[in-house]
A = this chain, B = another copy of it.
């Protein structure tokens, strides 16, 4: 069981974007630089966040990304599912059926108990992630993060955020 690197990047980017003011945006290149990631690859992940309506993108100079809704309404689960996909980690291949003795398919209509147990565990995992709001992550960092690191983050945001002439102010 393994989560792709993209998840960590996506969460950090979302957390950073939670700190930009109003409807300002931040370019993907700046986010990539901020974390020392390859820009072209990070854009793929940012695209997935956009497709999942977690981020909004604005083209053009002064364009970039911003949160599509308030950080209180974004959970870690939203982000993880957007990057890793919604399929469960355990996929029942129904290997019971692959034996030498062929049995009618009607014998396998009930879902196998193993599958059920694995999916239950995964629901617990997702439930735990769904309880963590992006705003909490940011708040915790603001409260307990090292001052030097925090100052650097703030400066970075200040330097790269771009105010919008007119944008959707739908911080619903």
Contact = CB atoms under 8 A, between A and B. Distances in A.
A8 B103 contact: no
A110 interface: yes
A98 B35 CA distance: 5
Interface stretch (A50-58, A66-74, A121-129): A121-129
A114 to B, nearest CB: 5
Size class of the A contact interface (CB-based, 8 Å): 35 or more
Nearest to A112: B141
B89 A3 contact: yes
Interface in A2-26: 2-3, 5, 7-9, 11-12, 15
Given A89-B1, A99-B156, A11 B114 contact: yes
* Copies of this chain, count: 2
A60 interface: no
B37 A76 contact: no
A100 to B, nearest CB: 6
A107 B146 contact: yes
Please list the 3 inter-chain residue pairs (A to B) with the smallest Cβ-Cβ separation, ordered nearest first.
Answer: A36-B98, A121-B128, A125-B125
16 contacts: A1-B89, A8-B91, A8-B92, A8-B95, A12-B114, A34-B100, A37-B95, A37-B98, A76-B117, A99-B152, A101-B156, A103-B146, A110-B144, A110-B146, A124-B127, A125-B128
